[in-house]
Amino acid sequence: MSFVTESLFVLRSRLHLVAGVFAAVLLSACATGVKIDNQYTSENQDSRVLFLVLHYTVGNFQSSLKTLTLPSNRPVSSHYLVQDDPVKTYKLVDETQRAWHAGPSTWRGHTNLNASSIGIEIVNPGIIKTPEGPRFAPFSQAQMEEVLALSKEIVVRHKIRPERIVGHSDIQPQSKQDPGAMFPWKQFADAGLIAWPDAELVAQRKAVYAQELPNLEWFQAKLASHGFGVPRSGELDPMTRNVISAFQMKYRPSLYSGEPDAETAALLDVVNNPDGMRLNSPPPPTKPYTSRW
């Protein structure tokens, strides 16, 4: 072997050695990752989850599960699905992930609530035919107790404020009606999850508005102040009717025609009055939710 050949051989050997060492270092870095020191925690933080949105599925359990889990041209999903018979809760999307349930939504200045909400889908057919005409289907008490238990734990876990527990019809009143007029929002109020208008004050204000009803600009302003995205046309256009109907379904479900009247005006007055809403004691902290089935 000549001197030149021997030198080239040694050089190649050294280059291979250096390359091997460099590769080993890279592999070691990949294996260990960045070393994070967790001894400090900022007090300036909260959950990324700001809202809890409640829905009904418009279908039975099997069709609802298919819609919420399988690919489609218009994919939808929800964090939880609450079955009706037997009552059982399924987690479909982890709470750390974004589910596609809220659509082009708005509430209290927030938009696109998918990014900041947890969705609960409740198995329920929605509007059904009856001898008296179309009606919202009722929810069983057992199913509602399951939804309440789940909601309480989500609210505690993420410290969701009462005014941010909403129905799909609240955040998308032009196209959605769920969870509908049969959804027992008053039970949520009794459980301390949402605030509820003071009945005595509503009665007092109703007597006043029965004498003279405010104009449509007043109704639209009060609806917007409460949280809805609503036109400010000063007219009873179809979009405004939809928003009034969504409000009525929550606080006056016996009549949700979308027609402005004295009781609706009284309710709008009271819900926008800080002294007019009553909030029961909030639910105590609980362990992470697991279905009782």
DSSP string, 190-216: HTTSS-EE-HHHHHHHHHHHHHS---H
Residue 285 pLDDT level (bands cut at 50, 70, 90): low
Contact 88, 61 (CB under 8 A): no
Amino acid 289: pLDDT: 42
Torsion, CA 4, CA 9, CA 11, CA 16, rounded to 10 = 170
Amino acid 33: pLDDT: 87
Amino acid 204: pLDDT: 98
In this chain, the answer to whether the domains covering 51-195 and 199-275 adopt an identical fold is no
Beta strand segments in 126-267, E: 127-130, 133-136, 165-167, 196-197
pLDDT tens figures, 140-154: 999 999 999 999 999
Beta strand segments in 85-225, E: 87-91, 106-107, 110-111, 117-122, 127-130, 133-136, 165-167, 196-197
Sorted by where each begins, the domain ranges of the chain are 51-195, 199-275
The pLDDT of 167-176, averaged and rounded, is 98
* 3-class DSSP assignment, residue 106: strand
Give the homologous superfamily in CATH for domain 51-195.
Answer: Peptidoglycan recognition protein-like (3.40.80.10)
Lowest-pLDDT range of 31-40, 129-138, 159-168, 266-275: 31-40
Level-2 CATH architecture, domain 199-275: Orthogonal Bundle (1.10)
Amino acid 290: pLDDT: 45
Contact 117, 55 (CB under 8 A): no
Higher pLDDT, 109 or 11: 109
Query: Do you know the residue count of the chain?
Result: 293
pLDDT tens figures, 56-88: 999 999 999 999 999 999 999 999 999 999 999
pLDDT tens figures, 114-167: 999 999 999 999 999 999 999 999 999 999 999 999 999 999 999 999 999 999
Residue 224 pLDDT > 90, yes or no? yes
Of the candidates 95, 121, 200, 212, the residue annotated as catalytic is 121
Residue 49 pLDDT > 70, yes or no? yes
Mean pLDDT rounded to a whole number for the chain: 90
200 is catalytic: no
Q: Which of 130, 165, 219 is nearest to 52 (CA)?
A: 165
* 3-class DSSP assignment, residue 58: coil
